[in-house]
Structure 1
Amino acid sequence: MDINNLANTTLDLFQQNKTAVVTTASAAALVLSVPLLSRIASDYRAWYALGPNGIPLNIFGYLFQAAASPFARLDTRVPAPYDAAALSKRYGALTLQSFLPRSPLPPRSGPRPDVPAYVGPQRQTSQQASAETRDAQESFLHAFAAANPDAVRVRPSNLEGPLFNSLWLRDGVPVRGEIRRLGGEFAHPHGEGSTHLVLSLADAARAIEGGWAERHRMSGVGSLMPWGFVLIYAPRDDDELEVWKGFVLASARYVLGGEKEAVMP
């Protein structure tokens, strides 16, 4: 076979039918892109429906979190996907201790809620808290701060935006290195009742193993968020609300590092 003649013939055919070839290629690209664009539009609507958060609620926020997805964790429901001994050198021996008031921690009943795999925001879309439970969560934040006035305070979240209240360390209270990038913010509930907070590695593993929590997708990724940054699922009844309060107390006790004692209201 004469390769040169074949190449010349192919080139001649392309030149003679260039318009048809380009039109066909454009049509094929359009056909292939329609399902992709439809999936992206559907995914964007689902992401947008999660509501206000620390990322702009627009296409730029959506693309920002999507760009971070290749670097995010997939093992968010694995209790301890880390070398605890190595991280204790990084976070200190305190991170291997438990600060939960209930021992043993009771298992959460039933299946875990649905949590879409977006980098942000992290929210649950099923088993959400009632309005009464959300009011109780907000009341507890203020009562907890009032019971620990020298240690913590309530102010709008910097991580999730001004619509959500958060517990912060008081000015002047030493901030553990692992939450320094969080500015001293250590616990904030969301509109559907789930809560982000910082736990010791021991308590984070217990919470995940017991079905109460999962890790944020950026937990342990670089120094952005500590390994103990978890999502506690929304309380479904009064008993679970009490467990939730225990997690908030454990978070405060841990981030205070033994420098100050946190107490229940």
Structure 2
Amino acid sequence: MDLYTLPNATEPPQPTASPISIPSILSATTLTVFLISLVYWCVQDFRLYISLGPGGPPYNIWGWLLTSFIVRPFTLAADETTWTGDYPDTGCHKEIEALPERARGRPVVLGIAPQRQLTQLAEPDMNKRVLSLLSSAVQNNPKLLQQRLSEFEKHHIALFVHPSLFSKPANLPETAIRSRGELGHIHDETSLHLYFSPADAKVIIEKGWAERHRCARTQPWWFGCKKFMFKIGDTFLLLYAPRDEAEFGVLKTLIRASARFMTGQEDIAEP
């Protein structure tokens, strides 16, 4: 007789579905939410990157990937760009010390590279006036300054230390050597990036005229206190666009201070 026809024979167990545990449900849900949030953040961040216009990195998805995932971990946080704790308390120029406080607070500034001013914008004709001011700085200091396209942002006009000064590099600050002589440059919305001495930079930021570039920092001790990460020194500031004649006058003082620091020459004619 067949064993399986015996009355006392035990039926083989039927396969049953394994119950889904609560931890696995939570893990799957968490992963799904994370991926959706990441995709949303990436889309929004890429849109912001493109909206700020061309800057130093490529103006495409590759430039965005470089800035957002390679550069960003080594930059200042957005709320740290007005920090001045690593600058000296003394040694700034008298003209900088005498600057008034900038009125009406700080504008909104977004981006890493590019970094741009989004509010409190200048009048449309101010950009041409500032470009003329940069040209005047060169004309009034022909043996100390030059003007050409920026090394950092190849779409914008910049001021440079005159090449002849590099024959005596000991007279120049390390910043001038590392930046290939570039003092800074103007942007389409009329903000500017410029280098300053650490003492001047402290006062300029604290009086509300500028903030640091997001890369303008010394890396923490666990990264070797490295300076000039991405070829940007720790006193590279974003100057807010001048809104009126008084602020245009302040910009003249700031350009002169930048030229003094980067050329190593105190005798700089005003633009």
TM-score between the two structures when normalised by the length of structure 1: 0.80
Structure 1 segments of 4 or more deviating over 2 A? 11-14, 25-36, 96-103, 220-223
Q: Distance in 1 between matches of 2:234 and 2:258?
A: 13
Change (3 A) 1:129 1:26: same
1:44-193 to 2 correspondence within 5 Å?
44-67=46-69, 68-74=71-77, 75-78=80-83, 80-82=84-86, 84=88, 97-99=91-93, 101=95, 103-116=97-110, 118-161=111-154, 163-174=155-166, 175-193=172-190
Give unmatched runs, 5+ long, in structure 1. 1-10, 86-95
Distance in structure 2 (CA, Å) of the matches to 1:71 and 1:210: 26
Whether the 8 Å CA contact 2:96–2:254 is kept in 1: the answer is no
Find out whether 1:230 has 2:265 as its counterpart: no
What does the per-residue CA deviation read over 1:76-110, in whole Å, with 9 as the maximum and x for residues that have no partner?
112x221639xxxxxxxxxx532363541100001
The 1:35–1:103 alpha-carbon spacing in structure 2 relative to 1, beyond 3 Å, is closer
Q: Alignment partner of 1:220: what SS?
A: coil
Q: C-alpha displacement at 1:179, in angstroms?
A: 2.7
For the residue of structure 2 that corresponds to 1:136, the secondary structure is helix
Contact 1:99/1:253 (<8 A) preserved: no
* Structure exhibiting the larger radius of gyration computed from Cα positions: 2
Find the aligned partners of 1:132 and 1:194 in 2 and give their Cα distance. Answer: 13
* Contact 1:122–1:216 (Cα < 8 Å) also in 2: yes
Which secondary structure state, in structure 2, belongs to the residue aligned with residue 231 of structure 1?
strand
- Helix, strand or coil at the partner of 2:125: helix
Is the contact made by 1:99 and 1:251 (CA closer than 8 Å) also made in structure 2?
A: no
SS in 1 for 2:159: strand
In the other structure, the counterpart of 1:93 is: none
Q: Which runs of 5+ in 2 are unaligned?
A: 1-14, 167-171, 219-225
2: distance between equivalents of 1:242 and 1:100? 16
Distance 1:27 1:105, change over 3 A: closer
Amino acid at match of 1:110: R
Conserved 8 A contact 2:146-2:161: yes
Percent identity between matched residues is 32
- Counterpart contact for 2:112–2:214, Cα < 8 Å: yes
Deviations 1:137-161 (CA, angstroms, capped at 9, x unpaired): 0011111101110010110001011
What is the alpha-carbon root mean square deviation over aligned residues? 2.6
TM-score by length of 2: 0.78
